[in-house]
Homo-oligomer: A and B are copies of this chain.
Amino acid sequence: MENSEAFERHHLLIYLVKWLPLAALVALLAGTASAFFLFALEWATATRIAHRELMLALPLAGFFVGWLYLRFGQQVEAGNNLLIDEIHDPKKVIPLRMAPLVLAGTVISHLVGASVGREGTAVQMGGALADQLTHVFKLKSEDRRILLMAGISAGFASVFGTPLAGAIFGLEVLAIGRLRFDSLLPCLIAAVVADQVGLLWGVHHTHYHIANIPGFNAWIVLAILFAGAVFGLTGRVFATLTHGLSTLMKDSIGYAPLRPFLGGIVVASVAYFFNADRFIGLGIPGIVDAFAHPLASYDFAVKGLFTIASLGTGFKGGEVTPLFYIGASLGNILAPFLHLPFALLAGLGFVAVFAGAANTPIASTFMAIELFGADIGVYAALACVVSYLFSGDTGIYRAQRKAQAKHQATLESNW
């Protein structure tokens, strides 16, 4: 007893002495990468808006991104899924090139106005940079798992300015229905420090404001449960269609660069000729609008189609910010039917479509609290958990393990 306690204390100290600096180092790398990525993104978006004709370069830019990955990036093309797979079953250190490739691919995608996000980029840069420490410090496979989770947490936290959501995301994204605590401290430290590193570099995150969060009553709960189901089904349809288009393109077009070339033609011609500029790029102004005034009823669907056409054909950046847009604009139009303030529903949709599509209800609840304040906590939790239940087993991350049936009473002694 005495011996095992002494051993455990010894072990805990070694764990801390090892992981506090390592997590901080991961945070320094990932937070810096996120900061420069966000600056590049700002530049790309401003440039695109200043030169509308840049969107006509979508097909060519798509071809170039496809060629880049075909020529240099076949090992890292699986992106977030490669990270998740390596955490579950560590085999080989992630090639460092994942970071510059996804950075270049994303900035180019945004420069010409593909409808893509940014979390994929931040997470992949965070994961790939973190994993390089494996060589530097000659770490074992068990340690690589923690390193990669911390990299994911740090990337997510610093790109969105949400450290708690980032910390939990790195644990929760790995498997559906179960959360393991073994890397909780490294992920938390990496997320908190990376967020601060980004702020020190001068990053500004968009602020969203929900003026009026109504008090609790039975109607609100039922309305939010209903909205949560709609958000979850939307996340599910989005994930299914994106995967479906991606598979279809891979099956029917052998030469990879042609896929985003085609996707670029579709996105560019629709956006250019229908003046659908609000649906291309990251879409932050559209998200902000969803908190401020009623939107057109088709907003979320059009943004969804633009995003599916961009990501499903091979543009880079990730799904999450478009999902924020889809969720916020969907919530915005659901609000009048549910007799609730549209800013509240926009905020709930923002986090809950993502919660369903990524199967991360707890990280998403923390995100709502970090972005919109503590008062939204219970409503966000209800929307995110119901969305998670309704999104089925098709998430945006194919590599996610299915640890457990989402809605099934199980007798299981295996804890």
Contact = CB atoms under 8 A, between A and B. Distances in A.
A377 interface: yes
Nearest to A359: B181
B181 A177 contact: yes
A301 interface: no
A378 B145 contact: no
Contacts of A179: 178-181
A25 B181 CA distance: 32
Contacts of A373: 374
B389 A415 contact: no
A411 B362 CA distance: 24
Nearest to A193: B221
Interface string A373-412: 1100110011001101110110000000101111111110
Contacts of A176: 181
A405 B142 CA distance: 13
A369 B361 contact: no
Contacts of A109: none
Contact of A415 (B88, B193, B378, B388): B88
Interface in A169-197: 174-185, 188-189, 192-193, 196
Interface stretch (A8-16, A100-108, A120-128, A325-333): A8-16
A26 to B, nearest CB: 14
B177 A180 contact: yes
A146 interface: yes
Nearest to A386: B185
Given A378-B164, A410-B142, A392 B8 contact: yes
A20 B15 CA distance: 43
B181 A140 contact: no
B411 A142 contact: yes
A323 interface: no
A183 B374 CA distance: 23
A252 interface: no
A409 B377 contact: no
Contact of A409 (B142, B189, B225, B390): B142
A198 to B, nearest CB: 12
A275 interface: no
A3 interface: no
B377 A369 contact: yes
A389 B140 contact: no
B143 A409 contact: yes
Contacts of A393: 8
A143 B410 CA distance: 8
10 contacts: A11-B407, A141-B411, A164-B365, A175-B415, A178-B179, A179-B180, A182-B405, A182-B410, A192-B221, A369-B377
Interface of A: 5, 8, 11-12, 15-16, 20, 88-90, 140-143, 145-146, 163-164, 167-168, 174-185, 188-189, 192-193, 196, 216, 221, 225, 361-362, 365-366, 369-370, 373-374, 377-378, 381-382, 385-386, 388-390, 392-393, 401, 403-411, 413-415
